[in-house]
Amino acid sequence: MRKLLVVGIVVSLLAFGSTALAFDLTDFGLQPAENYDFGGETVTIISWTSDRIPGYFETDLAVMGRVEEAEELFNCKIDWLYTREIPEQNFSRLLAGDSYNDLWHAQNKIGYWELVANDAAYPVYKILPEGYYDAFPPGILAVEEALKYKGQYWGIGPMEWRPIFGYQNDLIFVAYNKTLIDREGLEDPYELYLAGEWDWDAATRIAVAATADLDGDGETDQWGIVDARPWDLAVSNGASLTRVDENGKVIFTGDEPAYLEALEQYRMWWTELKVQMPTNASGDLRNAFVNGRAAMWFYAGAWQLPDYLMPMADEWVLVPYPKGPSVDDYQWTVQAISTTLLPSNAKDPEALVALKTFLWREEDAPQSDVLARHVRNQESAMVFLEGNLEWKGQISRLFENFLATYQDDVRQVGQGNLSPAAAMAALKPIIQANLDDLLGQN
């Protein structure tokens, strides 16, 4: 049955990743580009991504010359401002009155909540044409749904720095070393996934069998699991650290049974079974997998596939996170979500929306090109596409900057120094107070 589902996904995504015949802003309910006029003024695009965004426009064939075309059509000059000081730089420009032609790249953990909660962002929901988001791939709307503030949309879609527009650059997969799995005669996670049997128990069996002292020196040389992060594991069990209750209030839910189950599974892998490489150094964990010293990497984010896994010597395959005991099907999550905000003092907000929409397009990332950059086999391609189709906006730490000592505390749980229940009970009032303060909740 899973094979039928995957085939259906590939067919249904042909349109999702297809190349449009022509680009027309009126498809988004906007006016043609030539109807907007910035009067020769400069539009400043602010992001934390260093020179990667302009580098993309300068080197990728699909978008080369796009910036110059936009400058002519919109009668403006486009400038780039790179800073890690987000939202501080945004607030500073707003207070100085310099932000009226800005486009602000923001992420759930880089400025988004601070900007919208402090009245620095323009309420685009008041001026966006009806059906604006309907013209985008569904993943973009899922992001804006997750980032709703006071029940409204504030963002106008992401700024990408590589050709992946419409796909989730931060989607997380499990990658397994098929060369190692076959050599050790272990169960194949992809076959388990197709059969609907890829769950925590299956992952545990494989991890135990793969973890080994290869040279007999008493030290583990080959790990079953690297970089299984407890907050992502929780999503695979249908759990969430926060949710919106029936009254529209964002509440802490990390103390619910499904969440505690995930923390306990994480502790078991790390401390009891000792099948997870015992470090939080992400580079060391990634390198252990890339260099063939781990069976499964639980943090194979889409953004890491081109640079780290595509050159890998061993054969590897993607699968979703294994199912936890509280769910019936595979769950998907991302490590972050981003969008574009307008400043509250935007002089011509619709023109800014139109300019951003003109610059980043779905047609720039055809499905065949995206797959060629990210995967090496049909199995991984199907999982990559399923994840992008099935992801519905789940993110393991939506309010990452407001979680107090959560990250350190759950790592203490993994090392056996805190119980899941005790850790969450202590965090709950602190995190809830932070959320209430941020969101203006009673």
Residue 47 above 80 pLDDT? Answer: yes
Asked whether 357 and 73 are in contact (CB, 8 A), the reply is: no
pLDDT score for 442: 82
Q: How far apart are CA 77 and CA 79, in angstroms?
A: 6
With cut-offs at 50, 70 and 90, classify the pLDDT of residue 18.
very low
Q: Is the pLDDT of residue 376 over 90?
A: yes
Domains and CATH numbers, the chain: 20-168+337-366 (3.40.190.10), 172-334+394-439 (3.40.190.10)
- Using CA atoms, how far apart are residues 394 and 143, in angstroms rounded to an integer? 9
- Residue 130 — very low, low, confident or very high, per pLDDT cuts 50/70/90? confident
CA dihedral 324, 8, 300, 255 (to 10 degrees): -30
**Could you tell me if 2 and 194 are in contact, meaning their C-beta atoms sit under 8 angstroms apart?**
yes
Between 399 and 6, the more confident residue is: 399
> What's the gap between Cα 342 and its chain centre?
21
d(CA 206, CA 192): 11
On the question of pLDDT at 13 being above 70, the answer is: no
pLDDT digits (tens, 9 = 90+) for 335-360: 999 999 999 999 999 999 999 999 99
**Predicted local confidence at residue 247, as pLDDT:** 92
Average pLDDT over residues 76-82: 97
* pLDDT of the residue at 151: 92
Task: Give CA–CA dist 127/403, Å, rounded.
Answer: 33
| Other Cβ atoms closer than 10 A to 206 | 25
At 26 the three-state DSSP class reads helix
User: Which position has the higher pLDDT, 8 or 64?
Assistant: 64
Could you tell me which residues come within 8 angstroms of residue 247 by beta carbon, excluding any fewer than 6 positions away?
Answer: none
Separation CA 182–CA 203 (nearest Å): 15
pLDDT tens by residue, 202-229: 999 999 999 999 999 999 999 999 999 9
What SS3 string covers 377-389?
CHHHHHHHHHHHH
Q: pLDDT at position 22, please?
A: 53
pLDDT of residue 245: 94
What value does the mean pLDDT of the chain take?
94
With b for 16 or more beta-carbon neighbours within 10 A and e for fewer, the 110-120 pattern comes to bbbbbbbeeeb
390: nearest Cα among 194, 107, 142: 142
Q: Give dist(CA 248, CA 256) in Å, integer.
A: 19
Query: Burial code of 222-241, b = ≥16 C-beta within 10 A, e = fewer?
Result: bbbbbbbbbbbbbbbbbbbb
Is the N-terminal amide bond of 32 cis, ω within 30° of 0? no
Residues in contact with 231: Cβ distance below 8 Å, sequence separation at least 6, in sequence order: 241, 396, 397, 410
What pLDDT is stored for residue 2 in this prediction? 57
Mean per-residue pLDDT, 159-182: 96
The model's pTM: 0.93
Tokens of 25: 């802003």
Mean of pLDDT values over 159-181: 96
Residue with tokens 């309907």: 134
At 174-194, the pLDDT tens digits run 999 999 999 999 999 999 999
Q: How far apart are CA 248 and CA 441, in angstroms?
A: 10
- Residue 348, number of CB atoms within 10 A of its CB: 17
H-helix segments, 41-196: 52-59, 66-73, 88-96, 112-117, 138-146, 178-184, 189-194
Q: What does the pLDDT average to over 272-301?
A: 98
Distance CA 217, CA 91 (A): 56
Strands 102-107 and 42-47 turn out to be: parallel
End-to-end CA distance of the chain: 47
396, two tokens = 């393991």
